[in-house]
Amino acid sequence: MKTIYNAAHSLHRAAHEFFRGEKVPAFEKPERADWVLAAVQRTNLGEIIAPAPHGDGPILRVHSKPYVDFLRSAHAEYLALGGTGDAFPAAWPIRGMRSDVEPKNFAARMGLYSFDSGSPLTAGTWAATRAGADCALTAVDLLNAGERSVFVLTRPPGHHAGRDFFGGYCFLNHAAIAAQALRDSGCARVAVLDVDYHHGNGTQDIFYDRGDVFLASIHGDPMTEYPFFLGHADETGSGDGLGANLNIPLAAGSPVESWFAALDHALSRIEAFRPDALVVSLGVDTFEGDPISHFKLKTSDYPGIGERIAQLKLPTLFAMEGGYAVAEIGDNVAGVLQGFERA
Ligand code: OKP
Ligand code: ZN
């Protein structure tokens, strides 16, 4: 399996995030990708290649133009106003307020285009996530040229980013950009399988009313787990998309057996959808040692995920999402990919 590696990932380097009112070192850090790259090399997964530039077009199929324009210039604007370091939002248009008017004020626009204060917008955020989109699109080109599977190794992650908002460490939704590009290059139906610990609320936002892209997400129950306000089982899609959204929330602390039962259910629903290609939002924060998540998978469980996904026999794009146990992230990701290759 080829890896498309985003060498620009390290341009996104947040100094801190906020946790319980305290400034703490950011969990989503450059070392994450370095350790995954080392594991890809160590296990001889396959060739490691650089992304080819694809322009704004395929990004704008998924994200709104005002949002993309904002992201591109946000940090420079912040600096011009006298900001130092990373930018954080501090005010949001909650129920009863207007989100249909884009204010001129920078802090107001930070709030309009985000849903949490946990996602530092840094000097290199745009360059890093934009290169991540190029990686996803380069991977789609390879699938279209006949590759069976491709791994997109990028950060920051993407699955919390919606049509016009960032949050949960995510800015552009690389998995959604890939799914849309697969549609636009001839796949009639595409499935997205999100195995990150956190619900893929951004991906759900983007495809919720569409019947051509099926989303299955297995995640910590939003009643107690981030992102809290989406990811319940009764969210099944709307309009043309009714029935094309599957959420499987599991209680924090759920046993490994429950997680694999959820995976089998998700895979059978994907199979019934008869997609032409699969995009996997590959987070490994389901690991027992993850510092911000509460499932119990062990390193030895990860190959089984890849083996099961391979049974679908679909052209498959794996896009890197979360996983914050830095010392184990490489083995866990490589385990999934090797399991897929072996099957
Ligand atoms: C991104 B991805 C921890 C707070 C957690 C956001 C978590 C985002 C996870 N102090 N805040 O889905 O792995
Ligand atoms: Zn996650």
Residue 141 has pLDDT above 90, yes or no: yes
Handedness of CA 263, 198, 30, 138 (dihedral sign): positive
Average pLDDT, the chain: 98
CA gap 301, 333 in Å, rounded: 11
Any atom of ligand 1 within 6 Å of the Cβ of 51 = no
pLDDT value at 18 more than 90: no
Residue 20: is its pLDDT beyond 90? no
Ligand having the closest approach to the CA of 201: 1
Res. 244 pLDDT band, cuts 50 70 90: very high
Task: Evaluate whether 121 touches 88 at the Cβ level (below 8 Å).
Answer: yes
User: 7, 5, 11, 6: which is closest to 127 by C-alpha?
Assistant: 11
pLDDT of 19 higher than 90: no
Q: Quick check: CB of 70 below 6 Å from ligand 1?
A: no
Q: Is 226 in the pocket of ligand 1 (CB under 6 A)?
A: yes
pLDDT higher than 90, residue 186: yes
Question: Is residue 227 in contact with ligand 1, taking CB distance under 6 Å?
Answer: no
Strands 22-25 and 16-19 turn out to be antiparallel
Q: Give the Å distances, CA to CA, from 20 to 17, 116, 166, 223.
A: 10, 13, 21, 18
> Is residue 198 within 6 Å of ligand 1 at its C-beta?
yes
pLDDT of the residue at 45: 98
Question: What beta strand segments (E) does 173-327 contain?
Answer: 190-194, 213-220, 245-250, 277-282, 316-320
Cα 81 to the chain's mean position, in Å? 31
User: pLDDT tens digits, residue range 58-98?
Assistant: 999 999 999 999 999 999 999 999 999 999 999 999 999 99
pLDDT for residue 234 is more than 90? yes
Catalytic residues: 160
- Which residues neighbour ligand 2 (ion) by CB within 5 Å? 196-198, 283, 285, 322
Q: What is the pLDDT of residues 145-177, one digit of tens each?
A: 999 999 999 999 999 999 999 999 999 999 999
pLDDT at 318 over 90: yes
Q: How far is the CA of 186 from the centre of ligand 2 (A)?
A: 30
- Per-residue pLDDT at 113: 98
Q: Is the pLDDT of residue 266 over 90?
A: yes
The predicted pLDDT at position 153 comes to: 99
Question: Which of 20, 28, 116, 226 for a ligand 1 pocket mutation test, highest count of atoms within 8 Å of Cβ?
Answer: 226
- Judged against a pLDDT cut of 90, whether residue 301 lies above it is answered with yes
What is the pTM (predicted TM-score) of this model? Answer: 0.98
Model confidence over 97-108: pLDDT tens digits? 999 999 999 999
Q: Which ligand is nearest to the CA of 168?
A: 1
Percentage above 70 pLDDT, the chain: 100
Quick check: 127 pLDDT over 90?
A: yes
Query: Has residue 317 got a pLDDT over 90?
Result: yes
* Mean pLDDT of the 321-340 span: 98
- Which ligand is closest in space to the CA of residue 169? 1
